[in-house]
Amino acid sequence: MRGIKDSRFIRNKMPQSSQNWICIQTKDLKDSLDQKINCSSVLLQLLANRNINTEEEINSFLNPSIKVLKSPALLPNIDIAVRRLKKAIKAKESVLIFGDYDTDGIVSSVLMFNFLKKAGLDPDIYIPDRFDEGYDISLDFIRNKVLESDSDFVNKSSKKVHHIRSKYSLIICVDCGTNSNQVKDYILSGKSSDIDIIVCDHHEPSGHEDFKPGSASALENQYIIINPKLPDSKYPFKNLSGAGVTFKFIFAAFKGLDASMKSRFEKKFGKTYIRSLLDLVAISTIADLMPLVDENRAIVCIGLKMLNKTENYGLKKLVEKFLNDKKDITTHDIGFIIAPRLNAAGRIKNAMDSVEILKEEFEEKSEDTRKNEISKIIDDLDLFNIERQLIQKEILKEILESKKYDFERIVNDQKIFISKSSEWNEGVLGVVAANLVKKLNVPVILFKENKDKLKGSGRSIEKFDLLDSISLLKDYFIKFGGHRQACGITMDIKKYEVFEQELIKIAQNNLDDIDIRKHYYYDLEIDFSQVNEELISELKRMEPFGIDNPKPVFLTKGCSIQESRQLQNGKHVSLLLKNSNLIVKAILFNAEDKKQVIINTGNHIDILFNIEENNWNGKKEARIVIVSFDSSPSTLISI
């Protein structure tokens, strides 16, 4: 999870314990608010630090409700898309759902599939192969896998095909399709007049300046894009996941069904159908690192609570196996346990395994057959995830231990790390890049070399907009896309060296030494007398934590080390710390990744920390998790 952005805050004028510790201090915190709202001044300060200041904003944040969800009608082109889908349902058309191979794309595909099945259609799902095809729908896919020759129209003497027809009259792209400009141009050219495409997507658009919501061209063409980020979009919240946009389309289509159609399918949908989708939408929102504010916060709050009683059998079995029927499921559980396993199939093999778990099959298979299939696939996903972790660790170790990289020069001079190899598994390059960003604190792009092509994944730091930066070099690419802090690139290997040089120049021009220094943001300074059940209870009201709503970080100075012991051969350190005449248990995770570890008792340290409730032998108590520490050299010993 990332920290809070500098632009929303000012630096506290108080002296810092460490040069890379930055206190978040908002302006104009109103003293009258704590009288109107039932919470402490500490909680009010934490909310203000997240730009939540007014009584209305605070109440909405602390009491997330489905009522905050925006109307789907505000999304661009959604009315056109609903009319087209109703036509397909009435005529029982052949429909293909085209998704992406990550968790967001998998969930989006399944949401659409399950809805169309309930509505009486028999759609197909296609998830492209990460290794052979890459991200997004392509013209090759349309030509090779959608269009087919009509043999009755073949001139046998010339062997020339006079007519091409499509296997599908409607393709619904989910979590992709916004920037498939070659496919859009092909569809709109009339060369394949029997295919319509609906896009449910959330990626930043490019090349759509003439494709404005509600315009005449949008009404007339066969390529309908629903995306809150389209030019002139009136949708007030731009940060839905791909599955979030797909959910909105399903919601609008469900509401738009004719009365006769609704009554026909009433038993399959049920009275709480729309709300029942939020568990899957929550998973996609967390997995795709969407900001957990506004309606995303409501989606995730509601969705997490639903997971223990989900109506999706495959999801239920995933939760049972990997979360052990945990009652209070968190964003961490989804982001680090469930989502990696759903992602693993696409990283190692093909994402259709994950799709198969979450599909709701109806009359096609017996209940026992379906249960056995799902059980086997879940076991396979676990094995895929273990394999993914091993591959990831091997590549990371190879890079960090390689003598060909001078990381001191790369970090201080280049300000970005770019590399390629024919030996790397491209399915894990994004994860490895993210690991390297944490260690180096500079943007990273890694490429898999395959003959004359390179396919790469990039991750970035807060101060460097990766998508904007590579967009300046788009002429070098065959295909590219992504977000501010993540990107994917396909390019000709002949252009690699020039691209590398140009991107290094962009990084050097946009990043200063201070930008690549690891910074820790904290909310406010407290002492141990304030670390109590009341504060823990209030922190729980701020959950779920995630992007744009990080776990609160506190500063306490002058903590005396009463006891220190290493756990798991020095991997973690357990501590007893004293402050304000109170002793609190603390833990420093992953101490082996740090240069030094606290072991000396009787010395004093300043700490940045999170607060959590620790359950041990049936007893609940406060525990602090150290994020960073600062002390005199005598307090520390190298390991």
8-state DSSP, 94: -
Distance CA 150, CA 156 (A): 13
The secondary element (H helix, E strand) that includes residue 261 is helix 259-264
Distance separating alpha carbons of residues 573 and 541, to the nearest angstrom: 29
Query: In this predicted structure, what is the pLDDT of residue 411?
Result: 95
User: 127 by DSSP, 3-state: which?
Assistant: coil
| Per-residue pLDDT tens over the stretch 589-610 | 887 666 556 667 778 899 999 9
| pLDDT score of 362 | 54
Residue appearing with tokens 């395959």: 450
544: cis peptide before it, omega within 30°?
Answer: yes
Q: Which two tokens stand for residue 392?
A: 């990831």
- Distance from C-alpha of 75 to C-alpha of 510, rounded to nearest angstrom: 35
Whole-angstrom distance, CA of residue 193 vs CA of residue 186: 10
Residue linked to tokens 């990550």: 102
Contact partners, residue 188, CB within 8 Å, separation at least 6:
221, 222, 223
Phi, psi of 160, rounded to the nearest 5 degrees: -95, 130
Cα distances (angstroms) measured from residue 111 to each of 66, 276, 521: 18, 11, 38
∠ CA 233-239-245, nearest 5°, is 70
For β-strands 554-567 and 572-579, DSSP reports them as antiparallel
Q: Which domains does the chain have, with CATH numbers?
A: 6-52+521-638 (2.40.50.460), 270-347+359-401 (3.90.1640.30), 402-510 (3.10.310.30)
Place of tokens 């050219």: 189
Residues in the chain: 639
Neighbour-count burial of 637, counting CB atoms closer than 10 A to its CB (0-12 exposed, 13-18 middle, 19+ buried): exposed
Separation CA 511–CA 464 (nearest Å): 7
Check if the beta carbon of residue 29 is closer than 8 Å to that of residue 45. Answer: yes
d(CA 446, CA 306): 38
Transcribe 27-82 into DSSP letters. S---TTHHHHSSS-HHHHHHHHHTT--SHHHHHHHHS--GGGSPPGGGSTTHHHHH
- Tens digit of pLDDT for each residue in 500-552? 999 999 999 999 998 898 889 999 999 999 998 889 999 999 999 998 999 99
* Whole-number pLDDT of residue 33: 63
Q: Tokens for 218?
A: 């949008």
Strands 554-567 and 604-616: antiparallel
Predicted pLDDT of residue 483:
81
Residues of the chain whose pLDDT is less than 70? Answer: 1-19, 26-36, 149-164, 191-193, 207-221, 262, 265-266, 362-365, 592-599, 618, 632-639
Write down the pLDDT at residue 157.
Answer: 43
Neighbours of 484 (CB within 10 A): 14
Nearest C-alpha neighbor of 380 from the set 348, 404, 358: 348
469, two tokens: 């930066």
- Write the CA distances from 436 to 239, 389, 390, 455, integer angstroms: 26, 15, 16, 18
H or E stretch covering 629: strand 619-631
Question: Within 92-167, where are the H helices?
Answer: 103-118, 139-141
Q: How far apart are CA 615 and CA 438, in angstroms?
A: 30
The residues pairing with 559 across neighbouring beta strands, listed in sequence order, are 605
Are the C-beta atoms of 18 and 630 separated by less than 8 Å? yes
Q: Which of 552, 546, 485, 557 is nearest to 521 (CA)?
A: 552
Q: Is 99 helix (H, G, I), strand (E, B) or coil?
A: coil
Entry pTM:
0.87
> Alpha-carbon Rg of the chain, whole angstroms?
26
Name the H helices within 277-410. Answer: 278-287, 294-306, 313-323, 331-333, 339-348, 352-358, 367-401, 407-409
**How many whole angstroms separate alpha carbon 539 and alpha carbon 537?**
5
